[in-house]
Structure 1
Amino acid sequence: MFREMRREKQNLPEEECINVLQRGTSGVLAVSGDDGYPYAVPLSYVYDDSRIFFHCAKTGHKIDSIVRNEKVSFCVIDKDSVVPEKYTTYFRSVIAFGKARILEDEAQKRSAIEKLTKRYSPEQAQGHLQEIDKSLPQLCMIELDIEHMSGKEAIELVRRRT
């Protein structure tokens, strides 16, 4: 179903893909947009147990696209260092494929937004609980259940590790 990576030596092991997703603070969600055009949008997220969570408005292009087609991809760039003298970049990135769904259950929504707020505001425990209580009714949370992921890094980074 999913293609194998052509340059196998540059393939990141699963545990390193997970590390990249845990380190990242933003990624790009790609959906099947209007009139067959791809739609890719950067967003903040949190990774937890083979799932990616993010929040968004209850209406708009992203939600319409997910409702129409739950299959999405999500890309996180962990490293992107331009090396001009070598005409290359030293990169590391992960792409995850899966199905996205709108969380309707209040307990699931609360759990997801708590993970997200802890990720971005770990020092603000009391403040984020008050904010969650206030905004939960109008909040839209999306869960992306990862079915496949792959990571790749520049061959120069592979050589440094080995």
Structure 2
Amino acid sequence: MQHKMRRFKQLLPEAETKEILRMATHGVLSLVDADGMPYGVPLSFVYDGGDIIYFHCACAGHKIDCISANASCSFCVVAQDLIVPEEFTTYFRCVVCFGRVTIVSDREELEKGLLLLAEKYSPGIDSEAEISRFINNVAVLRLEITGMTGKESIELTRSRP
């Protein structure tokens, strides 16, 4: 269940929230393992502009075990974090997504996720040979976003026109 944001005046507009997801280079995927222990892991990602985020990872490991036990997750991206010591605060912008993460099994979607990642992190470079070389040895994760909130510091909110 997604909770309402308490400081709703600091809520970013949806377009700005999506732009942060589009531009950010990494975030922290938070999962829960079979024993109920939380696990947060920093990952590179790509946002499809709608309601899907793709990641790639090894085919086995703690992340895969967590997802197999419990698909619920959150994903946090920090777009700005300017420390302002004299004000005892930070000027921040961030996005938190909620949803379910699954391991992609469909070959076409697997290729799509890898291509989107390659276009984001290696723009203008033909990635087909690299994808073909590793496609059988990599997992692609698909986070289906069921909710997301973008938030900024009150100081940034107050500076808006």
Asked if residue 132 in structure 1 is aligned to residue 141 in structure 2, the reply is no
Q: Which residue of 2 aligns with 1:79?
A: 80
Query: TM-score w.r.t. structure 2 length?
Result: 0.96
One-letter amino acid matched to 2:42: P
* Residue segments in structure 1 that go unaligned for 5+ positions in a row: none
One-letter amino acid matched to 1:149: M
Q: Which residue of 2 aligns with 1:112?
A: 113
Q: Name the SS of the counterpart of 2:21 in structure 1.
A: helix
Number of residue pairs aligned between Structure 1 and Structure 2: 160
Q: Which residue of 1 aligns with 2:92?
A: 91
Distance 2:2 2:133 in 1: 41
Q: Which residue of 2 aligns with 1:158?
A: 157
Distance 1:33 1:68 in 2: 6
One-letter amino acid matched to 2:101: A
Q: Which residue of 2 aligns with 1:47?
A: 47
Distance 2:75 2:21 in 1: 10
- Could you give the per-residue CA deviations for residues 67-93 of structure 1, whole angstroms, max 9, x where no partner exists? 110101000000000001111000010
Distance 2:33 2:98 in 1: 16
Distance 2:58 2:10 in 1: 37
Distance 1:34 1:103 in 2: 20
Structure 1's consecutive aligned runs of 4 or more residues displaced over 4 angstroms after TM superposition are none
1 or 2, which has the higher helix percentage?
1
Distance 1:52 1:111 in 2: 12
- Could you give the per-residue CA deviations for residues 106-125 of structure 1, whole angstroms, max 9, x where no partner exists? 11100110000000000212
Q: Which residue of 2 aligns with 1:122?
A: 123
1:56–1:112 Cα change, 3 Å? same
Shift, 1:2, TM fit: 1.4
Q: Which residue of 1 aligns with 2:18?
A: 18
**Aligned residues: percent identity?**
46
Q: Which residue of 2 aligns with 1:145?
A: 144
Q: How well do the aligned residues superpose, as a CA RMSD in angstroms?
A: 0.9
